């Protein structure tokens, strides 16, 4: 009986301390660690987000870029930080969902060692072909690829990434034989398709829309349920004959594991309010990115669902661990 009362007292005291701490959050500037270099899309999203977060939380939100190892460098900093809400990670889905599926000996578990806080933006991929390719639609591209099995090439920023897997989705559904050419980054792939070095690229509107508008590539479809504002005349993959064909690279904010519920909710609410604000929506539109708010409860379920979906595609594609 004494032991039970003592245990209850300790639990109650711990709860009071946790509540008192949560009520003082945030007590100092928040560090938003970016899994990417300055000027990259993740960095641009982070800087827009930090402005609204700072306004709503009442403290500076400082953006720190920690590029390297497909997001592992930034991830390690956050997994080792105190779970007090003052050190957060913003990262694209490639780093948080796909990397664990294809990376050998990852130094942490993305499910066990992070707390999903909020989804903040989404960038649906679009299909583009080189101007030298005769196809002007997905239907024509599929017909061309079937007439020349193994001849058409497509680029991506690396094995097992969302760019390769988006083309892999089309390859499987249309039963195509295509040749994959990996590059070091999306910008290099965009240059390659613009020069005619490769035939196909499923990349971001941020990279491809300006090239399409300049006539250097042909943008033929977007892997989105609705048409893109940046290229409203371009059909969706569903309109092109491939129902429910959706592929995107999303951006999310994560904290260390075991964050106090009150702090998690405070951060999630501030981030969602920021993402829904007209200022943030406008900044994302200027980046050809869609502002998509998702709170911590829904986001935690979403990341698990995304991991399962991509795992199925990876296994069916035969892509193995590559790093």
Would you give per-residue pLDDT tens digits along the chain (323 residues)? 445 555 555 554 444 444 544 468 999 999 999 998 887 788 989 999 999 999 999 999 999 999 887 788 999 999 999 999 999 999 999 889 988 888 878 899 999 999 999 999 998 999 999 999 999 999 999 999 999 999 999 999 878 888 999 999 999 999 999 999 998 888 889 999 999 999 999 998 888 989 999 999 999 999 999 988 777 899 999 999 999 999 988 999 999 999 999 999 999 999 999 999 999 999 998 887 889 999 999 999 999 999 998 888 888 887 765 54
- Provide the terminal-to-terminal Cα distance of the chain, rounded to the nearest Å: 55
In a domain, 11, yes or no: no
- Supply the CATH number for residue 109's domain: 3.40.190.150
Q: What's residue 294's pLDDT?
A: 98
pTM: 0.80
Q: Are residues 136 and 188 in the same domain?
A: yes
Closest CA to 119 of 233, 248, 286, 240: 248
Residue in 301, 287, 284 with CA at minimum distance from that of residue 120: 284
Is residue 177 domain-shared with residue 214, that is, in the same domain?
yes
State whether 98 and 54 are in the same domain.
yes
Do 205 and 276 lie in a common domain?
no
CA pair distance 210, 270, nearest whole angstrom: 33
- Asked if residue 110 is part of any domain, the answer here is yes
Give the residue numbers spanning the domain of 153: 126-222
Task: Give yes or no for a contact between 223 and 140, defined as CB atoms under 8 angstroms apart.
Answer: no
Asked if residue 208 belongs to a domain, the reply is yes
Residues 119 and 141 in one domain: no
Same domain for 210 and 169?
A: yes
- Write out pLDDT tens, residues 26-58: 999 999 999 988 877 889 899 999 999 999 999
Tracing tokens 């994302």 back to the chain, one arrives at 284
Regarding whether 160 and 105 lie in a shared domain, the answer is no
Q: What is the CATH number of the domain that holds 145?
A: 3.40.190.10
Mind listing the pLDDT tens digit for each residue in 171-220?
999 999 999 999 888 888 999 999 999 999 999 888 898 999 999 999 99
Q: Based on the structure, what is the number of domains in the chain?
A: 2
**Strands 248-256 and 114-124, bridge-based pairing:** antiparallel
Contact between 211 and 194 (Cβ < 8 Å)? yes
């Amino acid at each position: 009986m004494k032991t039970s009362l003592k245990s209850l007292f300790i639990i109650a005291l711990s709860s009071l301390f946790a509540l008192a701490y949560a009520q003082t959050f945030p007590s100092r500037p928040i560090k938003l660690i970016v899994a990417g270099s300055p000027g990259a899309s993740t960095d641009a999203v982070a800087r827009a987000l930090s402005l609204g977060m700072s306004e709503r939380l009442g403290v500076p939100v400082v953006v720190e870029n920690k590029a390297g190892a497909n997001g592992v460098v930034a991830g390690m900093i956050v997994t080792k930080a105190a779970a007090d809400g003052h050190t957060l990670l913003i990262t694209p889905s490639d780093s948080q969902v796909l990397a664990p599926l294809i990376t050998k000996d990852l130094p942490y578990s993305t499910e066990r060692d992070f707390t999903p806080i909020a989804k903040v933006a989404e960038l649906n991929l679009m299909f583009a072909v080189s101007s030298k390719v005769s196809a002007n639609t997905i239907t024509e591209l599929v017909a061309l690829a079937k007439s020349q099995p193994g001849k058409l090439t497509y680029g991506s920023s690396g094995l097992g990434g969302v760019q390769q897997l988006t083309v892999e989705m089309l390859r499987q559904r249309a039963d195509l034989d295509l040749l994959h050419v990996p590059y070091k980054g999306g910008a290099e792939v965009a240059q390659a398709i613009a020069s005619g070095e490769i035939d196909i690229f499923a990349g971001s509107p941020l990279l491809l829309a300006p090239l399409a508008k300049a006539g250097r590539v042909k943008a033929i479809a977007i892997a989105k349920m609705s048409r893109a504002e940046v290229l409203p005349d371009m059909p969706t993959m569903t309109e092109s004959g491939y129902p429910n064909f959706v592929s995107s690279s999303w951006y999310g904010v994560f904290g260390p594991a075991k964050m106090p519920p009150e702090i998690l909710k405070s951060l999630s609410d501030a981030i969602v309010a920021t993402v829904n604000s007209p200022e943030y929506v406008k900044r994302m539109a200027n980046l050809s990115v869609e502002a998509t708010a998702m709170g911590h409860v829904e986001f935690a379920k979403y990341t698990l669902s995304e991991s399962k979906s991509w795992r199925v595609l990876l296994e069916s594609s035969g892509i193995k661990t590559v790093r």
